[in-house]
Amino acid sequence: MPLQPWYHEGLKFRCTCCGRCCTGDPGYVWVNRSETKALAQSLGLTPLEFEKAFLRSVGHRKSLIELPNGDCVFFDRQSRRCRVYPYRPRQCRSWPFWESNLRSPQDWQRTCQRCPGSGTGPTVPLDEIVALLQIIHM
């Protein structure tokens, strides 16, 4: 019988729309070509125009730029919402179910301390967590 992950009974999560995952410390929001195309189209731009305005190169990868205060370029501080939410990158869609947050119960507890939606709300079942983990490995 294969070993089940420590979170085999699922984990509680409900996004509170606090914006903490979109603000604060510098980091990377990786985007691929299809995400770049969808984001560009949502803003009425060509992919090249979008790339010049909103992406930075990090090695051979592309990341959304950040404002000087660490906020994502698409985070609206006034409304506390993402301006491109329906088209947000897979990295954003899969939060908080990243490998780095699920390595151990202690890692999940640290995530719960940073993200008020983690550890609250309905239980996300194991199969959904596994699907989200497969979207991107963080």
109 neighbors 71 (Cβ within 8 angstroms):
no
85 CA to centre of own chain: 11
pLDDT band for position 118 (cuts 50, 70, 90): very high
pLDDT for residue 36: 98
Q: Residue 93 corresponds to which amino acid? A: R
Please check the confidence at residue 107 and state whether its pLDDT lies above 80.
yes
Please check the confidence at residue 46 and state whether its pLDDT lies above 90.
yes
Distances in Å between the Cα of 94 and the Cα atoms of 2, 13, 128, 130 are 25, 12, 10, 10
pLDDT for residue 136: 77
Over range 123-130, report the average pLDDT: 97
